[in-house]
């Protein structure tokens, strides 16, 4: 199966400018690029799709260029947006660009020539207004630009000349990479189709004859129609400081039966046969959630590594079983970010009854005594039933945490 057929099986092809021409070109090594505008300090789960596609192409012998938009990021892409972006300062954009370079280097090796990192501020920052208008702008009739969906969708609400010019800047990126890097393929999400085809048009109008191509991939949504890559806490980030490996693992393991097989196709490097076996498991034994567990393992290994996967599974098992006493302080910080946390005002011993009232586990001392007497209170996974129980330094995990559970699932973290 060639790379285009593999992408088709995985549901990853949305539009191709010349499929047969591209298929023929891909029989030899092709240099291709994808752009990442630095609008935040981290990429997110939605960006991961395009990174994985770059890795797929690289595995079949093609050369990826990861282009971070230090220049275009100063302007703002109107694609897929109903309002103008808030413009960041150069210092902020430069900082975001460096963060993205670091993240991308975990997936694409920039140090040994197998992948290339570039920042379009290298050429856009040197481009004068007159030069840009003469050498780029003159090749784009106004009616051509107005026909693009990214512009049409904004006409009623309004679009500034700044964002209107984004298409020309991205087109210049493709031309620059075509002429100086031998790049003949641009890939991106389906919302980038207009920008990609504009770049191809500029290459053609500049008189170049060597074929160049564009390839887009569908934007992912969940089966219920909600946006992919979001959780109750917001975006799911690749940065472990923003989304911990445990939270990342939980995002994937909680995929619905309707979504999980597609996610296995989109994001993992499992073979077609392996995916079909898991699809059968979803149909015949959905309660075992083998596909979700496989997806969570593969995605956590890919983004955070084997050690982080081991920690995430350990935390998951501890929370499911209630046996949290074996968790380290670092694992507790990961696993309990979404749970209520109470900062203990003192390191002195404290009565259990008083602590669970102060921490909001129980609404009153009467309720606290009832919960303890009924066996509903657990400290670090162990049931506590004595009304006069006192918690001391020996009860603190790594000297810093006590985990109180009321009933089966209601956890509260006490932090010292």
Cα separation, 105 vs 123, in Å, equals 22
Has 33 been labeled as part of a binding site? yes
Has 230 been labeled as part of a binding site? yes
Q: What is the pLDDT of residues 82-98, one digit of tens each?
A: 677 778 899 999 999 99
Residue 412 near residue 341 (C-beta atoms within 8 A): yes
pTM for the model stands at 0.90
User: Which two structure tokens, joined as six digits, stand for 386?
Assistant: 């004595």
Has 174 been labeled as part of a binding site? no
Listed by start position, the domains of the chain span 3-217, 230-321, 341-415
Cβ-Cβ contacts under 8 Å for 172 (sequence gap 6 or more): 123, 124, 127, 132, 136, 202
Consecutive 10-residue runs of the chain (416 residues): their mean pLDDT?
Answer: 94 96 97 95 95 96 96 81 77 95 94 91 93 91 81 76 88 97 97 94 95 96 82 84 96 96 98 97 97 98 97 95 93 94 93 96 95 96 95 94 94 96
- Three-state DSSP at 305 gives coil
Q: What is the pLDDT of residues 120-165, one digit of tens each?
A: 999 999 999 999 999 998 998 888 888 877 777 777 777 788 888 8
Has 415 been labeled as part of a binding site? no
- Three-state DSSP at 163 gives helix
Indicate the helix (H) or strand (E) that contains 401.
strand 401-406
Instruction: Report the topology of domain 341-415.
Output: 3.10.290
Q: What is the CATH number of domain 3-217?
A: 3.40.50.620
CATH 1.10.240.10 is the classification of domain 230-321: yes
Number of helical (H) and strand (E) elements in the chain, helices listed first: 19, 15
């Amino acid at each position: 199966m060639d790379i285009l057929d593999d992408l088709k099986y995985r549901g990853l092809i949305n539009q191709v400018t010349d499929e047969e021409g591209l298929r023929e070109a891909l029989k030899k090594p092709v240099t291709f690029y994808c752009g990442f505008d630095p609008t935040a300090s981290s990429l997110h789960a939605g960006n991961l799709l395009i990174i994985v596609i770059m890795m797929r192409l690289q595995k079949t012998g093609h050369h990826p260029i990861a282009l971070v938009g230090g220049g275009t990021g100063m302007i703002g892409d109107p694609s897929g947006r109903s309002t103008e972006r808030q413009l960041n300062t150069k210092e902020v954009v430069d900082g975001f660009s460096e963060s993205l370079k670091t993240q991308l280097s975990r997936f694409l090796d920039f140090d040994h020539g197998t992948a290339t990192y570039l920042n379009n501020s290298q050429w856009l920052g040197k481009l004068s207004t007159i030069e840009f208008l003469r050498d780029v702008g003159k090749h784009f009739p106004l009616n051509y630009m107005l026909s693009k969906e990214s512009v049409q969708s904004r006409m009623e609400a309004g679009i500034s000349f700044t964002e209107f010019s984004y298409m020309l800047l991205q087109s210049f990126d493709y031309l620059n990479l075509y002429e100086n890097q031998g790049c003949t393929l641009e890939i991106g999400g389906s919302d980038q189709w207009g920008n990609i085809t504009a770049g191809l048009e500029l290459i053609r109008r500049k008189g170049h004859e060597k074929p160049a191509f564009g390839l887009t991939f569908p934007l992912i949504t969940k089966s219920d129609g909600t946006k992919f890559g979001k959780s109750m806490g917001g975006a799911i980030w690749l940065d472990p400081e923003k989304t911990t490996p445990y939270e990342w693992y939980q995002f994937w393991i909680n995929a619905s039966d309707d979504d999980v097989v597609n996610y296995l196709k989109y994001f993992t490097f499992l073979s077609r046969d392996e995916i079909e076996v898991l699809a059968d498991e979803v149909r015949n034994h959905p309660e075992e959630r083998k596909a979700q567990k496989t997806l969570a393992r593969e995605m956590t290994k890919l983004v955070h590594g084997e050690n982080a996967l081991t920690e995430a599974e350990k935390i998951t098992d501890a929370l499911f079983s209630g046996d949290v006493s074996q968790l380290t302080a670092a694992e507790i910080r990961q696993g309990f970010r979404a749970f209520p946390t109470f900062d203990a005002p003192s390191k002195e011993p404290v009565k259990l009854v008083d602590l669970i009232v102060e921490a909001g586990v129980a609404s009153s001392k009467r309720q606290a005594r009832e919960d303890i007497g009924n066996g509903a209170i657990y400290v670090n996974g162990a049931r506590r039933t004595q009304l006069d129980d006192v918690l001391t330094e020996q009860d603190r995990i790594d000297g810093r945490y006590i985990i109180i559970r009321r009933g089966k699932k209601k956890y509260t973290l006490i932090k010292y």
